[in-house]
């Protein structure tokens, strides 16, 4: 298990970001979807928690087959998705990512939002966590993101909001910008496979870091699109976008079972919901395929269960 805390500041208030977060997730999910791929919304409904009060529960399937890097496609089923379950009790959220194809793999993210520049210490009462955890400040303006995801219109160093007058962001903006808020994210990654655990968990954290940076950059640089929307209006936008996204994805019969929906666990076992940015095509060294092992020409690309049965019958 590898635990890291990320702190991401934005020139917004937490009340503004309550709308901006919902808008950004919905728009990004729709943009990233195509026939048979993307984020399918399975459930989105009110949820009452005895501790955190009223909130919203969502369950999504993040279909990733064509977006996986080649090394991952080689070892996953043709139809592959990750199950996301999120409990939103804003300004506190819990999100879990699991995959029944990899039962020993999970991501668990606790998020708290506060109107400050990221200076709240021990906000998650980390004494519950065994050992110390790393705390990283992510700068949406000056931290690098992978070049393939860069969009000049989504660069906070050059963006200026016509509606709010905020931006562009200059060096040291977190110390003098008002308003300012911070997303505190405690991320727990588990991959309990001997010999691979440490390297896989570190690799997943690198991917999560990129996703968090891209998502928060978009939330700010899209502010003129969602600024002024009420919660009712953004919920309506969310419903309409989810319906359109599900229609794009289409009905694809899953080959992987989905675990039963339940309450989030109190212990760290498996992000608030983060945009599904595709993973890198570059495999980590320990997962790279051997270079001097040419594939036999007679071997099929994939061996599905029906194909194996037909082969057995023929023989």
pLDDT tens, 117-161?
Answer: 999 988 988 655 555 789 999 999 999 999 999 999 999 999 999
Mean predicted confidence (pLDDT) in 268-290: 43
| Strand 134-138, strand 2-10: pairing | parallel
Q: What is the pLDDT of residues 88-98, one digit of tens each?
A: 999 999 999 99
Tell me, what's the pLDDT at 281? Answer: 45
- Is 93 strand, coil or helix? strand
Handedness of CA 38, 156, 228, 181 (dihedral sign): positive
Q: What is the mean pLDDT of the chain?
A: 81
Task: Select from 172, 137, 170 the least CA-distant residue to 156.
Answer: 170
CA contacts within 13 A on the Cβ side of 187: 27
The string of pLDDT tens digits covering residues 75-87 is 666 567 899 999 9
The reported pTM is 0.77
Phi-psi region of 124 (alpha: psi -120 to 50; beta: other; left: phi over 0): alpha
Task: List all residues 6 or more positions away from 125 whose beta carbon is below 8 Å from its beta carbon.
Answer: none
Q: Cβ(81)–Cβ(254) under 8 Å?
A: yes
Contact 279, 72 (CB under 8 A): yes
Could you give the domains of the chain?
2-248 (3.30.530.20)
H helices present in 91-160, as ranges: none
| Token pair recorded at residue 225 | 């699109």
């Amino acid at each position: 298990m590898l635990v890291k805390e990320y702190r991401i500041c934005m020139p917004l208030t937490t009340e503004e970001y309550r709308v901006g977060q919902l808008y950004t997730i919905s728009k990004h999910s729709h943009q990233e979807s195509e026939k048979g791929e993307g984020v399918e919304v399975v459930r989105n409904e009110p949820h009452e928690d005895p501790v955190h009060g009223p909130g919203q529960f969502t369950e999504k399937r993040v279909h990733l087959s064509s977006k996986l890097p080649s090394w991952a496609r080689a070892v996953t089923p043709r139809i592959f998705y990750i199950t996301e379950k999120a409990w939103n009790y804003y300004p506190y959220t819990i999100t879990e990512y699991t995959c029944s194809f990899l039962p020993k793999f999970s991501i668990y993210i606790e998020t708290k939002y506060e109107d400050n520049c990221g200076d709240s210490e021990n906000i998650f009462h980390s004494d519950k966590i065994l050992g110390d955890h790393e705390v990283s400040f992510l700068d949406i303006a000056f931290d690098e993101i992978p070049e393939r995801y860069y969009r000049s219109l989504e660069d906070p160093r050059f963006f200026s909001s016509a509606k709010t007058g905020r931006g562009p962001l200059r060096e040291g903006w977190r110390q003098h910008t008002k308003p300012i808020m911070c997303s505190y994210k405690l991320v727990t990654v588990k991959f309990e496979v001997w010999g691979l655990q440490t390297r896989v968990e570190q690799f997943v954290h690198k991917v999560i870091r990129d996703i968090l940076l891209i998502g928060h950059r978009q939330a700010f640089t899209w502010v003129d699109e969602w600024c002024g929307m009420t919660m009712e209006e953004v919920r309506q936008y969310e419903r309409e976008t989810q319906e359109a996204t599900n229609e794009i994805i289409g009905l694809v019969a899953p080959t992987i079972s989905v675990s039963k929906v339940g309450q989030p666990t109190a212990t760290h076992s498996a992000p608030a919901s983060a945009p599904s940015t595709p993973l890198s095509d570059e495999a980590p060294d320990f997962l790279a395929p051997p270079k001097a092992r040419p594939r036999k020409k007679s071997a099929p690309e994939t061996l599905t269960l029906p194909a194996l049965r037909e082969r057995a019958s023929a023989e």
